[in-house]
Amino acid sequence: MTDTSPRALSGITVLEVRSIGPGPLAGMLLADMGADVIRIDRPGVPTRGASDHIAPTHRGKRSVSIDLKTDDGRELLLEMVEHADVLIEGNRPGVMERIGLGPVDCHRRNPRLVYGRMTGWGQDGPLASAAGHDINYIALSGALEGMGADPSGPPVPAVSYVGDFAGGTMFLLFGILCAVRVAERTGVGQVVDAAMVDGVAALSAPYHGLLADGKWKLGRGRNVIDGGAPYYHVYECRDGQFVTIASAEPQFYALLRSCLGLTEPLWDAQHDEEQWAVQEQRLADIFRTRTRDEWCSILEGTDVCFAPVLSLADAPRHPHNVARETFVSVGDVIQPAPAPRLSRTPGAIGGPPPVAGLHTREVLGELGIGTDRVNNLISTGAVAIAEHPTAGQ
């Protein structure tokens, strides 16, 4: 899956100031589509999360290790800004300004630069400077309150998919690509203020419409698609594994009844909420009579709207994912393939993830910085060189 042929974003240079969560995933997706993503690492700072040479979110990138606390390091990054199209940073508001690398500083050197800022709360507002994590941002946006099928229990966190990556990464990317298009037309860059609270709030637009129309109940497990309806639910199987059904439409519900032998009058009123608790218990009893694989042999591929609940380890082995090559192996690490799929300029993985500083000499050489200056920057600690290559190189 590694490739260097022209892709949709070939020719775009992105500087990704090292961060955690949504920023690295944004860089990965841009790199998959052909952007030259240069990760700016800080010398001597331990890796958070998966190791550099393992983490799929760093695949296809190059790494330059710069100490931005030094004058030489900051000047070097500004020189890189002069040749870049996009800069991504994920610090608290004001941090980049305090070290002389904020949007104003960078736009003085490159007016076309798109300056992408990824935070939880946003660049302003009463909470802007407060610490936080994914669960806090989705709580404030109104999304967390409705997560979980048990109305008597607390909301259930959705790992980091909703806040960090849906509300964060995807809206950061959307803003960056919008701003890049404007810069290409006008020659003028701008700041992208991507806040997870804002992004998750935007994702909730359909539910605000349903709520205003009286078609959405607040709370947990009180609506069709939040686990309240027995025909749109997760059930445990005999082997302790789980399956999902989503037989919401009448024709799909009728097929579910046929496949499971649900002939009693109890099942005639699909949307009678007073019967939902009884129906859910009956379905729970039925699904516990077979293993997950047995249910797959009966229901998978039908219009019941069915799928097994797979782990991260199991998903790459499912026949559908195998057929579509949804997962690939890079450096012996199983990971998602580039998405979405473009028919003319498909994405590809440009190489395995680098350790910090692997490409310092290479990138500085491309900027026209001579060997003597590079060696001087190394000797003063302004930059660092990787001590060992990436896995697979």
pLDDT at residue 391 in the model: 41
Longest CA pairwise span in the chain (Å) = 85
Residues 6 or more apart whose CB falls under 8 angstroms from that of 322 comprise 316
Are domains 13-203+327-384 and 224-236+242-308 of this chain identical in fold? no
Where exactly are the structural domains of the chain? 13-203+327-384, 224-236+242-308
Catalytic residues: 133, 164
100 vs 103, 197, 255, 364, CA distance in Å?
Answer: 9, 27, 64, 21
Q: Which residue has the tokens 């309806």?
A: 229
* Domain 224-236+242-308 in CATH 2.60.60.20: no
More confident position, 289 or 49: 289
Chain segment 106-130, per-residue pLDDT in tens: 999 999 999 999 999 999 999 999 9
pTM for this structure?
0.94
**Into which CATH architecture does domain 13-203+327-384 fall?**
3-Layer(aba) Sandwich (3.40)
Q: What phi and psi, each to the nearest 5 degrees, are found at residue 69?
A: -85, -5
DSSP letter string, 110-163: -TT-EEEEEESS-SSSTTTTS---HHHHHHHHT-GGG-SS-TTS-----TTIII
Separation of alpha carbons 213 and 147, rounded Å: 21
Element (H, E) at 75: helix 71-81
pLDDT over 60 (residue 375): yes
Q: Which residue has the tokens 């994590």?
A: 133
**Contact (CB, 8 A) for 160 and 134:** yes
pLDDT over 80 (residue 49): no
Residue 112: closest CA among 12, 189, 191, 11: 189
Residue 34: closest CA among 264, 355, 344: 344
CB atoms closer than 10 angstroms to residue 127: 17
Among 6-15, 185-194, 235-244, 379-388, which stretch is predicted with the lowest mean pLDDT? 379-388
